[in-house]
Amino acid sequence: MIWMQRPPAIAIVSFHSGAGKTTLLEGVIRVLSRRGYKVCAIKHSAHNETRDAGKDTCRLREAGAVASALLRADGSLEVRSRGADLSSAMDAVSRFNPDIVLCEGFKDSGLPKIAIIDHNSAPSLQLQSVVAFACRDVVPPAGGIACLPCDPTAVAEFIVDRFLELGHKGVLVDRYGRRILGIRMSLTQKCNLNCIYCHHEGEKSPSGEMFTDEVLRILRLARDLGIRRIKFTGGEPLLRRDLGGIIAYSCSLGFDDVGVTTNGQLLRERALELYEAGLRRINVSLPSIDAGAYRSITGGDLGSVIDGLEAVRVLGMHVKINTIIMRGINDSAVDDLIEFARRNSSMLQIIELEDLNLDKGFFERYHTDLSEIEQMLSEAAESVVERGEMNRRRVYVVRGLPIEVVRPVNNPAFCAGCTRIRITSDGRIKPCLMRDDLLFDLLGGIKSGWTDAQLKTLFMSAVAVREPFYR
Ligand code: SAM
Protein backbone atom coordinates (compact mmCIF):
# COMPACT_ATOMS: atom_id res chain seq x y z
CA MET A 1 0.00 0.00 0.00
CA ILE A 2 1.26 3.46 -0.81
CA TRP A 3 0.24 6.05 1.74
CA MET A 4 -0.48 9.47 0.44
CA GLN A 5 -0.70 12.31 2.88
CA ARG A 6 -2.59 11.01 5.88
CA PRO A 7 -2.68 12.57 9.26
CA PRO A 8 -1.56 10.60 12.29
CA ALA A 9 -4.48 8.60 13.69
CA ILE A 10 -5.08 7.11 17.09
CA ALA A 11 -7.79 4.73 18.21
CA ILE A 12 -9.10 4.96 21.74
CA VAL A 13 -10.10 1.48 22.83
CA SER A 14 -11.00 -0.11 26.13
CA PHE A 15 -10.92 -3.55 27.60
CA HIS A 16 -14.35 -3.18 29.20
CA SER A 17 -17.54 -1.54 28.14
CA GLY A 18 -18.30 1.46 30.26
CA ALA A 19 -14.60 2.19 30.82
CA GLY A 20 -15.04 5.78 29.72
CA LYS A 21 -13.90 5.67 26.11
CA THR A 22 -16.40 8.22 24.82
CA THR A 23 -15.84 10.59 27.71
CA LEU A 24 -12.09 10.43 27.24
CA LEU A 25 -12.36 10.92 23.48
CA GLU A 26 -14.66 13.91 23.87
CA GLY A 27 -12.39 15.44 26.49
CA VAL A 28 -9.27 14.95 24.38
CA ILE A 29 -10.99 16.52 21.35
CA ARG A 30 -11.95 19.52 23.48
CA VAL A 31 -8.44 20.04 24.83
CA LEU A 32 -6.76 19.64 21.43
CA SER A 33 -9.27 21.93 19.70
CA ARG A 34 -8.76 24.58 22.39
CA ARG A 35 -5.04 24.37 21.73
CA GLY A 36 -5.73 25.17 18.07
CA TYR A 37 -5.32 21.74 16.53
CA LYS A 38 -7.70 20.65 13.80
CA VAL A 39 -9.07 17.36 15.06
CA CYS A 40 -11.19 14.79 13.25
CA ALA A 41 -13.07 12.15 15.18
CA ILE A 42 -14.30 9.02 13.50
CA LYS A 43 -17.18 7.14 15.00
CA HIS A 44 -18.83 3.94 13.97
CA SER A 45 -22.33 4.29 12.73
CA ALA A 46 -24.53 1.33 12.03
CA HIS A 47 -26.94 3.51 10.11
CA ASN A 48 -26.82 4.75 6.60
CA GLU A 49 -28.27 8.14 7.35
CA THR A 50 -26.14 11.06 8.39
CA ARG A 51 -26.98 12.80 11.61
CA ASP A 52 -28.97 15.98 11.33
CA ALA A 53 -27.73 19.22 12.72
CA GLY A 54 -28.21 19.10 16.45
CA LYS A 55 -27.76 21.70 19.10
CA ASP A 56 -24.01 21.50 19.03
CA THR A 57 -23.42 20.43 15.46
CA CYS A 58 -24.34 21.54 12.00
CA ARG A 59 -24.02 19.52 8.87
CA LEU A 60 -20.88 20.51 7.03
CA ARG A 61 -20.95 18.46 3.86
CA GLU A 62 -20.93 14.95 2.64
CA ALA A 63 -17.41 13.70 3.15
CA GLY A 64 -17.70 10.74 0.85
CA ALA A 65 -19.93 7.93 -0.19
CA VAL A 66 -19.61 6.01 3.02
CA ALA A 67 -18.91 8.70 5.55
CA SER A 68 -20.39 12.02 6.54
CA ALA A 69 -18.79 14.82 8.46
CA LEU A 70 -20.24 17.14 11.06
CA LEU A 71 -18.66 20.34 12.22
CA ARG A 72 -18.95 20.53 15.97
CA ALA A 73 -19.22 23.55 18.14
CA ASP A 74 -15.66 23.03 19.42
CA GLY A 75 -14.38 23.32 15.85
CA SER A 76 -13.58 19.65 15.41
CA LEU A 77 -15.02 17.45 12.73
CA GLU A 78 -16.89 14.30 13.47
CA VAL A 79 -16.99 11.72 10.72
CA ARG A 80 -19.58 8.99 10.91
CA SER A 81 -18.74 5.95 8.89
CA ARG A 82 -21.19 3.32 7.89
CA GLY A 83 -20.40 -0.05 9.37
CA ALA A 84 -16.82 -0.30 10.47
CA ASP A 85 -15.09 0.75 7.31
CA LEU A 86 -12.23 2.62 8.85
CA SER A 87 -10.19 2.82 5.70
CA SER A 88 -12.92 4.70 3.77
CA ALA A 89 -13.51 6.92 6.74
CA MET A 90 -9.79 7.74 6.88
CA ASP A 91 -9.83 8.60 3.18
CA ALA A 92 -12.75 10.92 3.76
CA VAL A 93 -11.09 12.48 6.78
CA SER A 94 -7.80 13.09 4.98
CA ARG A 95 -9.59 15.44 2.60
CA PHE A 96 -10.19 17.84 5.49
CA ASN A 97 -6.47 17.92 6.16
CA PRO A 98 -6.74 17.66 9.96
CA ASP A 99 -3.73 17.63 12.26
CA ILE A 100 -4.88 14.45 13.97
CA VAL A 101 -7.61 11.84 13.70
CA LEU A 102 -9.05 10.23 16.79
CA CYS A 103 -11.16 7.11 16.42
CA GLU A 104 -13.35 5.49 18.97
CA GLY A 105 -13.04 1.72 18.98
CA PHE A 106 -11.51 0.12 15.88
CA LYS A 107 -9.56 -2.30 18.05
CA ASP A 108 -8.04 -4.25 15.18
CA SER A 109 -7.33 -1.31 12.92
CA GLY A 110 -3.55 -1.32 13.22
CA LEU A 111 -3.65 2.32 14.37
CA PRO A 112 -1.69 3.36 17.44
CA LYS A 113 -3.91 2.87 20.49
CA ILE A 114 -4.64 4.66 23.69
CA ALA A 115 -6.03 1.73 25.67
CA ILE A 116 -8.12 2.40 28.73
CA ILE A 117 -8.01 -0.08 31.55
CA ASP A 118 -9.60 0.10 34.97
CA HIS A 119 -8.48 -1.35 38.22
CA ASN A 120 -10.07 -4.79 37.94
CA SER A 121 -9.19 -5.45 34.37
CA ALA A 122 -6.66 -7.94 33.16
CA PRO A 123 -6.26 -6.66 29.64
CA SER A 124 -5.02 -8.84 26.90
CA LEU A 125 -1.89 -7.26 25.50
CA GLN A 126 -2.54 -8.57 22.04
CA LEU A 127 -3.44 -5.10 20.81
CA GLN A 128 -0.96 -4.00 18.22
CA SER A 129 0.92 -0.76 18.66
CA VAL A 130 -0.40 0.35 22.04
CA VAL A 131 1.21 3.71 22.69
CA ALA A 132 -0.32 4.45 26.07
CA PHE A 133 -2.51 3.07 28.76
CA ALA A 134 -4.92 5.51 30.28
CA CYS A 135 -5.46 4.04 33.72
CA ARG A 136 -7.63 4.57 36.70
CA ASP A 137 -5.45 4.47 39.80
CA VAL A 138 -3.46 1.37 38.95
CA VAL A 139 -0.07 0.58 37.59
CA PRO A 140 -0.70 -1.02 34.21
CA PRO A 141 0.81 -4.31 33.19
CA ALA A 142 4.05 -4.18 31.25
CA GLY A 143 3.77 -3.73 27.52
CA GLY A 144 2.47 -0.21 27.03
CA ILE A 145 5.08 2.45 26.53
CA ALA A 146 3.42 5.08 28.68
CA CYS A 147 0.96 5.11 31.53
CA LEU A 148 -1.28 8.13 31.85
CA PRO A 149 -4.04 9.08 34.22
CA CYS A 150 -7.46 8.74 32.62
CA ASP A 151 -7.57 12.47 32.21
CA PRO A 152 -8.21 14.23 28.88
CA THR A 153 -5.56 16.89 29.47
CA ALA A 154 -2.84 14.32 30.21
CA VAL A 155 -3.80 12.21 27.21
CA ALA A 156 -3.97 15.28 24.94
CA GLU A 157 -0.50 16.36 26.15
CA PHE A 158 0.82 12.92 25.33
CA ILE A 159 -0.70 13.05 21.84
CA VAL A 160 0.73 16.50 21.18
CA ASP A 161 4.13 15.39 22.37
CA ARG A 162 4.26 12.13 20.43
CA PHE A 163 2.35 12.93 17.28
CA LEU A 164 1.84 16.63 16.70
CA GLU A 165 5.01 18.42 17.64
CA LEU A 166 7.38 15.91 16.19
CA GLY A 167 9.03 18.29 13.79
CA HIS A 168 9.17 21.25 16.12
CA LYS A 169 11.30 19.77 18.86
CA GLY A 170 14.33 19.58 16.63
CA VAL A 171 14.18 15.84 16.25
CA LEU A 172 11.63 13.30 15.03
CA VAL A 173 10.67 10.56 17.45
CA ASP A 174 8.53 7.55 16.62
CA ARG A 175 5.95 6.07 18.92
CA TYR A 176 8.45 3.56 20.26
CA GLY A 177 10.57 6.43 21.45
CA ARG A 178 13.17 5.94 18.70
CA ARG A 179 14.69 9.19 17.50
CA ILE A 180 15.09 9.57 13.74
CA LEU A 181 18.60 10.82 13.30
CA GLY A 182 19.56 9.52 9.89
CA ILE A 183 18.32 9.07 6.37
CA ARG A 184 19.52 6.43 3.97
CA MET A 185 18.70 7.68 0.51
CA SER A 186 18.86 5.52 -2.62
CA LEU A 187 19.85 7.69 -5.54
CA THR A 188 19.35 5.08 -8.24
CA GLN A 189 18.57 1.42 -8.65
CA LYS A 190 20.96 1.18 -11.59
CA CYS A 191 24.12 -0.74 -10.80
CA ASN A 192 27.30 -1.73 -12.61
CA LEU A 193 27.58 -4.97 -10.59
CA ASN A 194 25.27 -7.88 -9.95
CA CYS A 195 26.06 -9.03 -6.41
CA ILE A 196 24.50 -12.38 -5.55
CA TYR A 197 23.52 -11.17 -2.06
CA CYS A 198 22.07 -7.78 -2.97
CA HIS A 199 18.83 -6.77 -1.27
CA HIS A 200 18.45 -3.62 -3.44
CA GLU A 201 17.70 -1.67 -0.27
CA GLY A 202 14.34 -3.45 -0.14
CA GLU A 203 13.07 -1.88 -3.37
CA LYS A 204 10.97 -4.11 -5.58
CA SER A 205 10.04 -2.23 -8.74
CA PRO A 206 11.01 1.43 -8.54
CA SER A 207 9.27 3.78 -10.92
CA GLY A 208 12.04 6.06 -12.14
CA GLU A 209 14.50 8.26 -10.30
CA MET A 210 14.47 11.62 -8.59
CA PHE A 211 15.84 14.65 -10.41
CA THR A 212 18.64 16.58 -8.74
CA ASP A 213 16.39 19.42 -7.54
CA GLU A 214 13.97 16.89 -6.03
CA VAL A 215 16.79 15.21 -4.12
CA LEU A 216 17.99 18.58 -2.84
CA ARG A 217 14.52 19.58 -1.69
CA ILE A 218 14.13 16.35 0.28
CA LEU A 219 17.52 16.90 1.87
CA ARG A 220 16.54 20.40 2.95
CA LEU A 221 13.26 19.19 4.42
CA ALA A 222 15.06 16.42 6.26
CA ARG A 223 17.52 18.89 7.71
CA ASP A 224 14.66 21.16 8.82
CA LEU A 225 13.11 18.18 10.58
CA GLY A 226 16.23 17.61 12.64
CA ILE A 227 17.83 14.77 10.63
CA ARG A 228 21.54 14.81 11.37
CA ARG A 229 23.06 12.08 9.21
CA ILE A 230 22.67 11.29 5.56
CA LYS A 231 23.94 8.23 3.70
CA PHE A 232 23.63 7.86 -0.08
CA THR A 233 23.20 4.39 -1.46
CA GLY A 234 21.65 2.64 -4.44
CA GLY A 235 22.00 0.76 -6.83
CA GLU A 236 25.38 2.29 -7.32
CA PRO A 237 25.34 5.97 -6.28
CA LEU A 238 28.57 6.72 -8.15
CA LEU A 239 26.65 6.15 -11.38
CA ARG A 240 24.88 9.46 -10.73
CA ARG A 241 26.76 12.28 -12.39
CA ASP A 242 25.25 14.77 -9.95
CA LEU A 243 26.56 12.97 -6.84
CA GLY A 244 29.26 15.61 -6.22
CA GLY A 245 26.66 18.40 -6.30
CA ILE A 246 24.34 16.46 -4.01
CA ILE A 247 27.16 15.93 -1.52
CA ALA A 248 28.23 19.58 -1.67
CA TYR A 249 24.64 20.67 -1.00
CA SER A 250 24.29 18.19 1.89
CA CYS A 251 27.47 19.54 3.46
CA SER A 252 26.21 23.10 3.07
CA LEU A 253 23.06 22.14 4.99
CA GLY A 254 25.20 21.24 7.98
CA PHE A 255 24.44 17.53 8.42
CA ASP A 256 26.75 16.11 11.09
CA ASP A 257 27.59 13.21 8.85
CA VAL A 258 27.42 12.78 5.07
CA GLY A 259 28.36 9.35 3.73
CA VAL A 260 28.20 7.20 0.62
CA THR A 261 28.01 3.43 0.23
CA THR A 262 29.62 2.22 -2.99
CA ASN A 263 30.87 -0.93 -4.66
CA GLY A 264 34.06 1.00 -5.42
CA GLN A 265 34.23 0.20 -9.13
CA LEU A 266 34.24 3.88 -10.12
CA LEU A 267 35.85 5.21 -6.98
CA ARG A 268 39.31 5.94 -8.34
CA GLU A 269 37.92 8.24 -11.06
CA ARG A 270 35.57 10.08 -8.75
CA ALA A 271 37.42 10.13 -5.43
CA LEU A 272 38.88 13.63 -5.80
CA GLU A 273 35.62 15.18 -7.03
CA LEU A 274 33.71 13.65 -4.10
CA TYR A 275 36.38 14.74 -1.64
CA GLU A 276 36.31 18.29 -2.99
CA ALA A 277 32.51 18.25 -2.66
CA GLY A 278 33.03 17.65 1.05
CA LEU A 279 32.81 13.86 1.40
CA ARG A 280 34.96 12.58 4.24
CA ARG A 281 33.38 9.21 4.92
CA ILE A 282 32.78 6.30 2.57
CA ASN A 283 31.65 2.68 2.88
CA VAL A 284 33.03 0.31 0.28
CA SER A 285 31.44 -3.10 -0.24
CA LEU A 286 34.04 -5.82 -0.47
CA PRO A 287 32.89 -9.42 -0.07
CA SER A 288 36.30 -10.95 -0.84
CA ILE A 289 39.90 -10.01 -1.49
CA ASP A 290 40.40 -12.95 -3.81
CA ALA A 291 39.96 -11.70 -7.39
CA GLY A 292 38.23 -14.89 -8.61
CA ALA A 293 35.86 -15.08 -5.64
CA TYR A 294 35.16 -11.33 -5.91
CA ARG A 295 34.22 -11.72 -9.56
CA SER A 296 31.96 -14.69 -8.93
CA ILE A 297 30.15 -12.90 -6.06
CA THR A 298 29.79 -9.51 -7.73
CA GLY A 299 30.57 -9.87 -11.44
CA GLY A 300 33.13 -7.03 -11.02
CA ASP A 301 36.86 -6.37 -10.97
CA LEU A 302 38.66 -6.48 -7.62
CA GLY A 303 41.56 -4.37 -8.94
CA SER A 304 39.23 -1.39 -9.54
CA VAL A 305 38.04 -1.50 -5.93
CA ILE A 306 41.58 -1.72 -4.60
CA ASP A 307 42.59 1.28 -6.74
CA GLY A 308 39.57 3.19 -5.44
CA LEU A 309 40.41 2.35 -1.83
CA GLU A 310 43.95 3.58 -2.37
CA ALA A 311 42.66 6.84 -3.89
CA VAL A 312 40.43 7.65 -0.92
CA ARG A 313 43.10 6.57 1.56
CA VAL A 314 45.56 9.03 0.05
CA LEU A 315 42.94 11.77 0.35
CA GLY A 316 42.53 10.93 4.04
CA MET A 317 38.88 9.85 3.84
CA HIS A 318 37.45 7.72 6.62
CA VAL A 319 36.84 4.31 4.99
CA LYS A 320 34.71 1.45 6.16
CA ILE A 321 34.84 -1.87 4.32
CA ASN A 322 31.46 -3.64 4.27
CA THR A 323 31.50 -7.41 4.02
CA ILE A 324 28.38 -9.53 3.87
CA ILE A 325 29.24 -12.95 5.20
CA MET A 326 27.88 -15.98 3.37
CA ARG A 327 28.35 -19.53 4.66
CA GLY A 328 30.68 -21.57 2.47
CA ILE A 329 31.46 -18.55 0.28
CA ASN A 330 33.50 -16.09 2.34
CA ASP A 331 33.01 -17.03 5.99
CA SER A 332 36.47 -18.59 6.21
CA ALA A 333 38.19 -15.50 4.77
CA VAL A 334 37.53 -13.13 7.68
CA ASP A 335 41.17 -13.16 8.84
CA ASP A 336 42.32 -12.11 5.37
CA LEU A 337 39.78 -9.28 5.33
CA ILE A 338 40.95 -8.11 8.75
CA GLU A 339 44.54 -7.97 7.56
CA PHE A 340 43.52 -6.22 4.34
CA ALA A 341 41.50 -3.61 6.24
CA ARG A 342 44.39 -3.01 8.63
CA ARG A 343 46.84 -2.49 5.76
CA ASN A 344 44.41 -0.01 4.18
CA SER A 345 43.79 1.87 7.42
CA SER A 346 40.07 1.15 7.06
CA MET A 347 37.45 0.01 9.50
CA LEU A 348 35.84 -3.33 8.82
CA GLN A 349 32.12 -3.96 9.06
CA ILE A 350 31.01 -7.59 9.05
CA ILE A 351 27.35 -7.86 8.09
CA GLU A 352 24.86 -10.69 8.46
CA LEU A 353 22.99 -11.61 5.28
CA GLU A 354 19.40 -10.38 5.35
CA ASP A 355 16.59 -12.24 3.64
CA LEU A 356 15.32 -9.61 1.29
CA ASN A 357 14.92 -9.64 -2.51
CA LEU A 358 17.10 -12.74 -2.74
CA ASP A 359 16.72 -15.69 -5.10
CA LYS A 360 14.60 -18.49 -3.69
CA GLY A 361 16.55 -20.72 -1.31
CA PHE A 362 19.60 -18.41 -1.28
CA PHE A 363 19.14 -17.24 2.29
CA GLU A 364 18.62 -20.74 3.74
CA ARG A 365 21.69 -21.94 1.93
CA TYR A 366 24.14 -19.16 2.69
CA HIS A 367 22.95 -17.39 5.81
CA THR A 368 25.09 -17.64 8.91
CA ASP A 369 24.24 -15.81 12.14
CA LEU A 370 27.86 -14.65 12.72
CA SER A 371 27.95 -16.06 16.27
CA GLU A 372 31.15 -18.02 15.61
CA ILE A 373 32.85 -15.01 14.03
CA GLU A 374 31.73 -12.79 16.89
CA GLN A 375 33.06 -15.33 19.40
CA MET A 376 36.41 -15.36 17.63
CA LEU A 377 36.52 -11.55 17.61
CA SER A 378 35.58 -11.26 21.26
CA GLU A 379 38.44 -13.58 22.20
CA ALA A 380 40.91 -11.61 20.10
CA ALA A 381 39.67 -8.10 21.00
CA GLU A 382 41.45 -5.75 23.34
CA SER A 383 38.20 -3.82 23.80
CA VAL A 384 34.52 -3.89 22.82
CA VAL A 385 32.27 -0.87 22.33
CA GLU A 386 28.49 -0.77 21.78
CA ARG A 387 27.22 1.98 19.47
CA GLY A 388 24.05 3.24 21.10
CA GLU A 389 22.69 5.31 18.24
CA MET A 390 23.56 2.78 15.54
CA ASN A 391 21.32 -0.20 16.28
CA ARG A 392 23.49 -1.05 19.31
CA ARG A 393 26.10 -2.61 17.06
CA ARG A 394 29.21 -4.05 18.67
CA VAL A 395 32.64 -2.85 17.67
CA TYR A 396 35.58 -5.14 18.52
CA VAL A 397 39.00 -3.55 18.49
CA VAL A 398 41.48 -6.20 17.40
CA ARG A 399 45.12 -5.10 17.38
CA GLY A 400 44.03 -1.53 16.88
CA LEU A 401 41.55 -2.29 14.06
CA PRO A 402 37.88 -1.52 14.84
CA ILE A 403 35.64 -4.32 13.52
CA GLU A 404 31.93 -3.71 13.64
CA VAL A 405 29.52 -6.63 13.67
CA VAL A 406 26.02 -6.05 12.28
CA ARG A 407 23.52 -8.77 13.18
CA PRO A 408 20.04 -7.57 12.32
CA VAL A 409 18.23 -10.88 11.68
CA ASN A 410 15.72 -11.81 14.40
CA ASN A 411 17.31 -9.17 16.59
CA PRO A 412 14.84 -6.98 18.54
CA ALA A 413 17.74 -5.02 20.07
CA PHE A 414 18.85 -4.04 16.56
CA CYS A 415 15.39 -2.73 15.69
CA ALA A 416 15.00 -1.05 19.07
CA GLY A 417 18.13 0.96 18.28
CA CYS A 418 17.12 1.85 14.72
CA THR A 419 17.37 5.60 14.21
CA ARG A 420 17.12 5.82 10.45
CA ILE A 421 14.45 6.14 7.83
CA ARG A 422 14.87 5.50 4.12
CA ILE A 423 14.10 7.29 0.90
CA THR A 424 13.76 4.98 -2.10
CA SER A 425 15.27 5.79 -5.47
CA ASP A 426 11.82 6.79 -6.71
CA GLY A 427 11.29 9.22 -3.85
CA ARG A 428 9.16 7.37 -1.33
CA ILE A 429 9.71 7.39 2.38
CA LYS A 430 10.32 3.84 3.56
CA PRO A 431 10.06 3.56 7.33
CA CYS A 432 11.56 0.05 7.49
CA LEU A 433 14.01 -1.73 5.19
CA MET A 434 12.20 -5.03 5.65
CA ARG A 435 8.71 -3.83 4.75
CA ASP A 436 7.37 -2.62 1.46
CA ASP A 437 3.75 -2.20 2.46
CA LEU A 438 4.28 1.22 4.02
CA LEU A 439 5.59 3.70 1.51
CA PHE A 440 4.89 7.41 1.59
CA ASP A 441 5.02 9.06 -1.80
CA LEU A 442 7.12 12.13 -1.11
CA LEU A 443 8.13 12.60 -4.74
CA GLY A 444 4.45 12.40 -5.76
CA GLY A 445 3.79 15.25 -3.33
CA ILE A 446 6.66 17.30 -4.76
CA LYS A 447 5.47 16.72 -8.30
CA SER A 448 1.93 17.73 -7.27
CA GLY A 449 3.17 21.06 -5.94
CA TRP A 450 2.85 20.40 -2.22
CA THR A 451 4.16 23.00 0.17
CA ASP A 452 7.08 22.31 2.52
CA ALA A 453 4.60 22.08 5.39
CA GLN A 454 2.61 19.38 3.60
CA LEU A 455 5.74 17.42 2.76
CA LYS A 456 6.93 17.63 6.36
CA THR A 457 3.57 16.32 7.53
CA LEU A 458 4.09 13.34 5.26
CA PHE A 459 7.50 12.75 6.83
CA MET A 460 5.88 12.86 10.25
CA SER A 461 3.17 10.44 9.16
CA ALA A 462 5.86 8.03 8.02
CA VAL A 463 7.62 8.36 11.36
CA ALA A 464 4.33 7.90 13.21
CA VAL A 465 3.76 4.43 11.70
CA ARG A 466 7.30 3.18 12.24
CA GLU A 467 7.44 0.00 14.22
CA PRO A 468 10.24 -2.45 14.97
CA PHE A 469 10.32 -5.36 12.51
CA TYR A 470 11.70 -7.72 15.15
CA ARG A 471 10.37 -7.24 18.68
N1 SAM B 1 26.19 -0.41 -4.70
C2 SAM B 1 26.51 0.01 -3.38
C3 SAM B 1 27.29 -1.05 -2.64
O4 SAM B 1 27.54 -2.12 -3.21
O5 SAM B 1 27.69 -0.79 -1.52
C6 SAM B 1 25.32 0.47 -2.57
C7 SAM B 1 24.12 -0.42 -2.59
S8 SAM B 1 24.21 -1.81 -1.55
C9 SAM B 1 22.55 -2.37 -1.67
C10 SAM B 1 24.38 -1.07 0.03
C11 SAM B 1 24.74 -1.99 1.13
O12 SAM B 1 23.67 -2.88 1.34
C13 SAM B 1 25.93 -2.91 0.98
O14 SAM B 1 27.10 -2.36 1.46
C15 SAM B 1 25.63 -4.01 1.89
O16 SAM B 1 26.17 -3.72 3.13
C17 SAM B 1 24.14 -3.97 2.07
N18 SAM B 1 23.48 -5.19 1.59
C19 SAM B 1 23.15 -5.53 0.34
N20 SAM B 1 22.52 -6.70 0.30
C21 SAM B 1 22.43 -7.14 1.57
C22 SAM B 1 21.85 -8.28 2.20
N23 SAM B 1 21.23 -9.23 1.51
N24 SAM B 1 21.93 -8.38 3.54
C25 SAM B 1 22.55 -7.41 4.27
N26 SAM B 1 23.09 -6.30 3.74
C27 SAM B 1 23.05 -6.17 2.40
Taking CA atoms only, the protein residue closest to ligand 1 atom 1 is 236
| pLDDT for position 167 | 47
> 414 in ligand 1 pocket by Cβ < 6 Å?
no
Is the pLDDT assigned to residue 348 strictly greater than 60? yes
Asked if the model's pLDDT at residue 263 lies above 60, the reply is: yes
CA geometry: angle 432, 438, 440, nearest 5 deg = 100
Question: Does the pLDDT at position 403 exceed 60?
Answer: yes
62 versus 412: the higher-pLDDT residue is 412
Q: pLDDT confidence of 50, banded at 50, 70, 90?
A: very low
Q: In degrees to the nearest 10, what's the CA dihedral of 165, 167, 168, 170?
A: 130
More confident residue, 336 or 78: 336
- Taking the centre of ligand 1 as the mean of its atom positions, its distance from the CA of residue 71, in whole angstroms, is 51
Please state at what angle helix 452-464 crosses helix 212-224, rounded to 10 degrees.
Answer: 70
Q: Whose CA is nearest to atom 7 of ligand 1?
A: 234
pLDDT (tens digit, 9 = 90+) per residue, 294-343? 999 999 999 999 999 999 999 999 999 999 999 999 999 999 999 999 99
Grouping H, G, I as helix, E, B as strand and the rest as coil, residue 200 is helix
For residue 27, report the distance from its CA to the centre of ligand 1, in Å: 49
Q: Identify the three-state secondary structure at position 83.
A: strand
Predicted local confidence at residue 231, as pLDDT: 98
pLDDT of residue 469: 94
Q: Which CATH fold would you assign to the domain 9-168?
A: Rossmann fold (3.40.50)
Region 239-254 average pLDDT: 96
What percentage of the chain exceeds 70 in pLDDT? 80
Question: Average of pLDDT values for 384-392?
Answer: 63
Ligand 1 contacts CB of residue 404 (under 6 A): no
Q: How confident is the model at residue 369, as a pLDDT? A: 95
Asked if residue 99 has pLDDT above 60, the reply is yes
Pocket lining: 199 vs ligand 1, CB cutoff 6 Å: yes
For residue 83, pLDDT over 60 is answered with: no
Residue 257 confidence (pLDDT) above 80: yes
pLDDT at 405 over 80: yes
Residue 398 pairs with which residues in a beta bridge?
A: 401
Residue 16 pLDDT exceeds 90: no
Which range has the worst mean pLDDT, 9-23, 231-245, 352-366? 9-23
**Residues contacting residue 378 through CB under 8 Å, at least 6 positions apart:** 384, 396
**AA letter at 41:** A
Taking CA 411 as the corner, what is the angle to CA 406 and CA 416, rounded to the nearest 5 degrees? 95
Distance 153 CA to ligand 1 centre (A): 47
Comparing 404 with 99, the larger pLDDT belongs to 404
Give me the phi and psi of 246, to 5 degrees please: -65, -40
> Is there an atom of ligand 1 within 6 Å of 109 CB?
no
Q: Is 275 in the pocket of ligand 1 (CB under 6 A)?
A: no
Q: Which residues lie below 8 Å from residue 420, measured CB to CB, with a gap of 6+?
A: 180, 181, 182, 183, 184, 229, 231
- Domain ranges in the chain are 9-168, 182-464
More confident residue, 38 or 311: 311
Residue 414 CB-density burial (10 A; 0-12 exposed, 13-18 middle, 19+ buried)? buried
Query: How would you label 331-360 residue by residue, b for 16+ Cβ within 10 Å and e otherwise?
Result: eebbeebbebbeebebbbbbbbbbebebee
pLDDT of 275 over the 90 cut: yes
At 203, is the pLDDT very low, low, confident or very high (cuts 50, 70, 90)? very high
Protein residue with its CA nearest to atom 9 in ligand 1: 200
* Cα 322 to averaged position of ligand 1 atoms, centre (Å): 8
Residue 457 CA from chain centroid, whole number: 15
CA distances from 147 to 20, 134, 135, 143 (A): 16, 6, 7, 10
CATH code for the part of the protein at 182-464? 3.20.20.70
**Cα 198 to middle of ligand 1, angstroms:** 6
Ligand 1 center from residue 277 Cα (angstroms) = 24
- Residue 138, phi then psi, degrees to nearest 5: -130, 160
State pLDDT tens for residues 413-449. 889 889 899 999 999 999 999 998 889 999 999 999 9
Residue 211 predicted with pLDDT over 70? yes
pLDDT digits (tens, 9 = 90+) for 143-176: 556 778 888 998 998 888 777 765 445 578 887 8
The predicted-structure confidence for 102-152, as pLDDT tens digits, reads as follows 888 777 776 778 888 765 555 555 565 677 778 776 566 555 567 788 889
DSSP three-state, residue 100: strand
Residue, of 283 and 30, whose pLDDT is higher: 283
Q: Does 393 have pLDDT greater than 80? A: no
Mean pLDDT value across residues 458-462: 88
Question: Could you tell which of 285, 330, 357 is best to mutate to test the pocket of ligand 1, judged by most ligand atoms within 8 Å of the CB?
Answer: 285
